[in-house]
Structure formats: structure tokens, C-alpha cells
A and B are shown apart, each in its own frame.
Chain A
Amino acid sequence: MKRRMNWLLVVLLLTSFLAGCGPAPTKEVKILNPVGEPAVPIIPAAPRLDTLEGKRIGLYIIRRANAFELMDRIAENLANQFPTAEILTHKTNKVWAKPSYDRTAAEQGIFDEILAEKPDAIIIGLGS
């Protein structure tokens, strides 16, 4: 009995020792987020139109290569597809062609003039 108890103790000790030699538990690390919180509040988009029929649609040209050709074609398509819409372009008022692409409309003094045209929607191209 005493010998069996000794053997049992040896087996228990050996098993504990082997279990303790296994891989160490993986550590984790906590870091602080380097990203800056956006400062500008969300702006709600202007409500969309139910239809373009009967509306004043401005085509605001940013002077990139082929912008006039592209936007003039879009104006023509709109006029054909929506005969009751009024299409406002650089041909009706030169403010619809931005003088310089790298300054805003306000900096170039045409923002208020564009609003004075009372557009219901504006298409801006080519570029942003």
C-alpha cells in the first residue's frame, strides 16, 4: 500500500512538472489610437429633386481638358430628355465656367453670381 502510494505521488509530481513546461500564455498589449477624430460635423446633403422636368439645371464647368466638349454634350442631352427644363450654361452666363480650377468659386468672386441664377440643381465637371 505504502509503495503504491509512493508511485502514485511520483506520477502526480511528474505530470505536474511536464504540464508546467508547456508554452507560456500569449500576452496582449494595449495601445492608444493614433487617428485624429474628424472635426467637421456632418453636413446633410441638399434634398434631391423628384424630377428634372421644369427645373433650372446649371452646368458648372471646371476648366480641365475636354471639359467644355463633355459638359456641352451633357447640356444638349438634358435639353432633349427634359424639354421643360431650363439648362444654364456658360453660353447663357459666363459664370458657369470657372475661370481657374485651383481656386474656389467664392475666391474667384462668382459664387454669389451662380446662386443668383437660382439653379435647382448643379452638375459640376470635368473634375472636382
Chain B
Amino acid sequence: MYDLVEFEKAGIPCVEIPTEAFESESQQRAIGQGLPTIASAAVPTEVSYLTELSEIHEIADAAMPEIIASLTAATEPMERRSAEPRIITIKPKDGEDILEAVNRYFFPPENRWSDGFPVIPPTEERVEWMLTGTERSPDEEITQLPPCYGKATVEKIAINAVMAGAKPEYLETIIAAVDAISDPKVYLEGTTTTTDPGNAPLIVINGPIVNELGLNYSWGVMGPGWRPNSTIGRALSLCVRNIGGADTPGSIVQHTYYLPHDYSMVLAQPYPETTGNWKLLSEQLGYRRDQNVVFVMPTDGPTNLSPFDSPTKPISAANLLKNWVDQMAQQQPRRGFVGLINFSPEHVRILAAEGWTETDVKYYIFHTAFSPAVLEAKETGYTTRGEKHRADTFGLTRMMKKPPVENCIVSGEDPVRDTFVLVSGAIPMGGHGNMIPRSSHGGYAAREIGTLAPPPARPEELVEIETLPVEETTTEIECLKYGHYWYGEACHEKPEDYEEEVPTPEEVPSEEEAPTPEETPEEEEEEHYESVC
């Protein structure tokens, strides 16, 4: 569609042939690009699944009249989204109260302006109240929001912030989030319209503003129950819907299924101190710790990771990390993983006590998070789907582009800089953390709240993944983070010596030596655990 628009601008008449399922999405995106007269000759969706050449030819033959007509006759322009009128008068029906009347108007068939929950009516008085949270002019255009490139003025953002139930002191944070999500690196036009479910934007907020606004960074972080977390995230989603135009499923929005995380997903980190003094996400991006920063990243939603062997058994840092990576690797993300890895303070208390920093942990993950499916495919020559494994096809290794270390499930254009290891949540948390993969189509962006400054520029060259051979490592952390094995107070290439600690078959008691049921000691009384309810 983008190519079609450019060809038309160059004066070349075009017609596109989408499948019927995607025709509306392409048309809506073209309207957003300024071409409401896009010519299209859709074919049945099943053409992509046919195996008989004659059936494909039948579909091509049937499409010929419309293809030729589209190149020789003008297409009627389709309706474009309109922001008029600026002020809308809503009259309740008989017996209807004002709140119900407004919310009825915001839903189909009238409009698609709500995420499904009731909205606060954005009256002029309420919007003026919301605008007291900024010194910007209401007419100031912050950005243009994909996929339909609506103008995100301060007033429009404030209107959607009122609808979300936000307060004026949240407005500058919401403005920064809107500016961040429109960054080309985020690729919102792709993440909002794709069949992939992953556009649920994660917002991470850092800096003194966390305490000023009362954002939750502890128990239940990212969950419901906190007005700043819930309404800042909801305001962003409503802006993408109403200003950006990502509002109609099956048309501009093609998610086959979607994620409830899009209602609101806001993570804050404590300020000024973190457990283990691990760097905030903003610092990992290059900002100072005392700057107020909002980070936005479309995601596939968080996946729980729980590395403790049991809630009460002490665990070493090495075992914690091994369990964590085992669980990460089992996820086997389709196109590799890149995104946020979120430890709880309980994990970091253990890790930091043994000297691990967030960068050490990141390198450990790079060197040990290997996909079992990729390893098996390489060893056997076949993928898990039974297809011959070829590195240059739509196989697992191709999809996992540029891993920092061969076979690592972490991948991406610049995985060292684009993977973030955080600490957030509460102590104790029952040993739970999560990994939050970035959407396969999207990127991420950040802005300083207020100034809208992006992260400091970084050198263009890729950061090479560090590694040290066994003989050059001097500490346990150095040994483990580069993928080696530490035992016997020394670093080893492989765990061959571990076999000495594994009982050999001769050591297993024989049947004659095994206690008979009569010799089994009496069963002890079961311990009763008090319910926490």
C-alpha cells in the first residue's frame, strides 16, 4: 500500500490485489496516507491456501474485469475520518441520564470512541480543567498518530485524558507517552494493523514523578487498582484509538485476537533507590536517574517466570539464574525474544548479594538462553514441524535474527542495547518475575516528560557481545555470565566433572537392600499450613 501511494504520487495509475480479508485495512491505511481513491480489486481470501494451479488461475481470470476497470476508470473517493464538529451536543433519550447518553453515543452504531469501559464525558469544563496540568497551548501539535495520522494536539490529548479518568497532573506524562508511541522506531502503523496480537503498549515511568503522582511500583505492579497507572495507560490507548484511528476491528485493525493489556499496562520503578542499586530503565537508555522519563513499547504481553525451587528453600544466584533461563528458553518465541526482563526485588536481593548487576544478568541470559527447538533442529536436521531444517528458509534460525550469541533466543537488530533487565515489584513476591517481549513488528521509544527529549544519541556501530574464555575469567560471575560452568571454585568449559556427583547405578540400593513396606517407618503427621485468607 505504501508503494502504491508512492507510485500514484509519481503519476503512475495503480491497482492493488489484496485478499478480501485485508482489503478494508489497506484502504483505511491508504486514506490515512492521503489517498481515499485507492483502486483495489480484491480476490477471495482462500487464494493463499489453494494448492491446485487451475483454481488459482480461475481466481485470476475472474479478477481481470475489475483490474482493467480500475486502471481505466476513476475510483470514487472513500470517506475520510473527520474531527468535525468540534463540539457535539448529545441529547438523552427518554428516561436516560446524561452519563448513559454520552456513553451510548461513544459506542457503535454511533461511534467507536471507547475501549469498552464507561468514559468520563469530555465537556468543555472538564477539558479546561485537564489543561491546567500543562502550560502548553491547546492548539500545539505534539505529533501525528498512526495508523491514520491524526493530529495529536494538546487539546485532543486532554479530551482523551478526561475520558480515561486521568487528572491534570498526569497530562504531561500522557503527552510524552503519545509522542513516544508515534516515534517511527515504534512503527505504530504496523503494530496497530497487524494480525499479530502484539500491540499492547507497555509504558514504563521513571524518575521523581513516580512519587509525585503516586504511581504504583510495588505490590500488583502493572495491575488494576491505581488511578495514575490505570488512567495514564488508558489515556494513551484512547489516543491511539481516537486520534490515531485504530478503532475498527476487521477493518483498519486486523488483530486475530487481541490482548486485554491494551486497556492499560503501566510499570513504574521505585525512585530514588532500587534493590541492589540496579539501573533504572531510563538509565539503561542513557538518561540520568533524576530525569522523569516515559518509555513505550508495543508488546505481546508479559509471561510469568518463577525461578524459585520452592517458596521457602534458599536458592543461590547461580540456581536462580539457571531456573530463570530454563523457563525463558522454553517460551521459544516465534521470532526470537527482545524486550524487557523484569526481576522482583526478592530475586535481586539474592543476585545483588552475590555481586550480580543487571548487565551481568543480561550477559548470562545471552550466553545461556538457548531454544531447545533450534538446538534439536540443528542436531537432527529437522524442525519440530518435521520439515527439513534450512537456515535460509522460514525456519527458526532465520526468524531469530542476529542473536547476540549463536542459538540464543534473544535476537533483534541490536540485542545488546535493545534488551533491558529491570527490577520492579514487591518483596516478597513469591518469587515471580516476568519477561515482556516486544511486539514482532514494533520497536520502542522514550521521551523525557516535559521537554519530550529522546534518549541521548548513541554510536551507530553495534555493540559486540563480550565474551571471555574460561582461562581468563577470575570470578564466579565472570565465569557464569560468559556461559561457562563454575564448580570446585574454578571455571570450567563443560560440566564433565559433574558426573562424579551423580550417583552411579551401582550406588542405587538393590531390591534386596530396599526397605520392605513392613519396615517403612510410620508416616509422620502431615503438617498443616495456615491459609493466608
Query: Is B60 a contact partner of A33 (Cβ separation < 8 A)?
Result: no
Query: Is B3 a contact partner of A27 (Cβ separation < 8 A)?
Result: no
Interface code B6-38, partner A: CB below 8 Å = 1, 0 otherwise?
Answer: 111111111111110010011001001111111
Residues of B within 8 A of A125 (CB): 16-18, 43
Query: Is B63 a contact partner of A74 (Cβ separation < 8 A)?
Result: yes
* Known contacts A70-B43, A70-B47: A35-B87 contact under CB 8 Å: no
Query: Is B53 a contact partner of A69 (Cβ separation < 8 A)?
Result: yes
Query: Is A121 a contact partner of B34 (Cβ separation < 8 A)?
Result: no
- B518, CB-defined interface residue at 8 Å: no
* Known contacts A49-B72, A69-B53: A35-B16 contact under CB 8 Å: no
Residues of A within 8 A of B19 (CB): 126-127
Query: Is A34 a contact partner of B113 (Cβ separation < 8 A)?
Result: yes
Q: Which of the residues A26, A42, A124, A126 comes within 8 Å of B92, measured between beta carbons?
A: A26
Residues of B within 8 A of A4 (CB): none
Whole-angstrom CA separation of A43 from B1 in the bound complex: 14
Query: Is A123 a contact partner of B48 (Cβ separation < 8 A)?
Result: no
- B102, CB-defined interface residue at 8 Å: yes
Whole-angstrom CA separation of A50 from B82 in the bound complex: 34
Query: Is A66 a contact partner of B47 (Cβ separation < 8 A)?
Result: yes
B83 to chain A: closest residue by CB: A37
Residues of B within 8 A of A38 (CB): 32, 34, 80-83, 148-151
Query: Is B68 a contact partner of A43 (Cβ separation < 8 A)?
Result: no
- A65, CB-defined interface residue at 8 Å: yes
Question: How far is the CB of B19 from the nearest CB of chain A, in Å?
Answer: 7
Residues of B within 8 A of A115 (CB): 10, 12
Query: Is B43 a contact partner of A121 (Cβ separation < 8 A)?
Result: no
Q: Which of the residues A27, A32, A66, A105 comes within 8 Å of B6, measured between beta carbons?
A: A105
A26 to chain B: closest residue by CB: B92
Interface code A83-103, partner B: CB below 8 Å = 1, 0 otherwise?
Answer: 000000000000000100010
- A12, CB-defined interface residue at 8 Å: no
* Known contacts A29-B98, A48-B73, A65-B48: A122-B90 contact under CB 8 Å: no
Query: Is A35 a contact partner of B123 (Cβ separation < 8 A)?
Result: no
Q: Which of B13, B64, B242 has the most CB of A within 10 A?
A: B13
Q: Which of the residues A27, A46, A71 comes within 8 Å of B11, measured between beta carbons?
A: A46
- B454, CB-defined interface residue at 8 Å: no
**Chain A: interface residue count, which band?**
35 or more
Query: Is B86 a contact partner of A43 (Cβ separation < 8 A)?
Result: no
Whole-angstrom CA separation of A121 from B12 in the bound complex: 5
- B386, CB-defined interface residue at 8 Å: no
Residues of A within 8 A of B40 (CB): 128
* Known contacts A30-B88, A77-B61, A121-B13: A36-B123 contact under CB 8 Å: no
Query: Is A32 a contact partner of B72 (Cβ separation < 8 A)?
Result: no
Question: How far is the CB of B23 from the nearest CB of chain A, in Å?
Answer: 8
Interface residues in B136-183 by Cβ distance below 8 A to A read: 144-145, 148-153, 155-156, 159-160, 163
Q: Which of A36, A42, A114 has the most CB of B within 10 A?
A: A36
Query: Is B67 a contact partner of A74 (Cβ separation < 8 A)?
Result: yes
Query: Is A33 a contact partner of B3 (Cβ separation < 8 A)?
Result: no
Residues of A within 8 A of B151 (CB): 36-39
Query: Is A124 a contact partner of B149 (Cβ separation < 8 A)?
Result: no
Question: How far is the CB of A78 from the nearest CB of chain B, in Å?
Answer: 8
Question: How far is the CB of B175 from the nearest CB of chain A, in Å?
Answer: 14
B111 to chain A: closest residue by CB: A35
Question: How far is the CB of A64 from the nearest CB of chain B, in Å?
Answer: 6
Query: Is B160 a contact partner of A122 (Cβ separation < 8 A)?
Result: no
Question: How far is the CB of B374 from the nearest CB of chain A, in Å?
Answer: 22
Query: Is A48 a contact partner of B53 (Cβ separation < 8 A)?
Result: no
Residues of A within 8 A of B238 (CB): 34
Query: Is A35 a contact partner of B89 (Cβ separation < 8 A)?
Result: no
Query: Is B91 a contact partner of A106 (Cβ separation < 8 A)?
Result: no
Residues of B within 8 A of A37 (CB): 82-83, 150-151
Query: Is A128 a contact partner of B13 (Cβ separation < 8 A)?
Result: no
- A120, CB-defined interface residue at 8 Å: yes
- B94, CB-defined interface residue at 8 Å: yes
Question: How far is the CB of B335 from the nearest CB of chain A, in Å?
Answer: 12
Question: How far is the CB of B315 from the nearest CB of chain A, in Å?
Answer: 43
Residues of B within 8 A of A30 (CB): 87-90, 123-124
Query: Is B34 a contact partner of A36 (Cβ separation < 8 A)?
Result: no
Query: Is B72 a contact partner of A51 (Cβ separation < 8 A)?
Result: yes
Residues of B within 8 A of A119 (CB): 12
Whole-angstrom CA separation of A45 from B113 in the bound complex: 30
- B408, CB-defined interface residue at 8 Å: no
* Known contacts A26-B91, A29-B123, A64-B48: A124-B17 contact under CB 8 Å: yes
Query: Is A31 a contact partner of B123 (Cβ separation < 8 A)?
Result: yes
- B259, CB-defined interface residue at 8 Å: no
Query: Is B59 a contact partner of A70 (Cβ separation < 8 A)?
Result: yes
Interface code B37-78, partner A: CB below 8 Å = 1, 0 otherwise?
Answer: 111100100011110010011011101100110011111000
Query: Is A35 a contact partner of B85 (Cβ separation < 8 A)?
Result: no
Question: How far is the CB of B116 from the nearest CB of chain A, in Å?
Answer: 15
- B250, CB-defined interface residue at 8 Å: no
Please give the residue numbers on chain A whose beta carbons come within 8 Å of chain B beta carbons, in ascending order.
26-43, 45-52, 57, 60, 64-66, 69-71, 73-74, 77, 81, 98, 102, 104-106, 111, 114-115, 119-128
| 25 pairs of residues in contact across A and B, judged by CB atoms under 8 Å | A26-B91, A28-B91, A29-B90, A33-B87, A34-B113, A35-B81, A35-B83, A35-B156, A36-B242, A38-B82, A40-B32, A43-B9, A46-B13, A48-B13, A69-B56, A73-B60, A74-B63, A77-B60, A81-B68, A106-B6, A122-B14, A123-B71, A124-B16, A127-B16, A128-B4
7 closest Cβ contacts across the A-B interface?
A36-B150, A125-B17, A36-B243, A128-B26, A73-B60, A37-B83, A40-B34
Known: A26-B91, A60-B3, A122-B12. 9 other contacts (CB 8 A): A26-B94, A35-B156, A36-B245, A38-B151, A39-B151, A111-B3, A124-B17, A126-B18, A127-B22
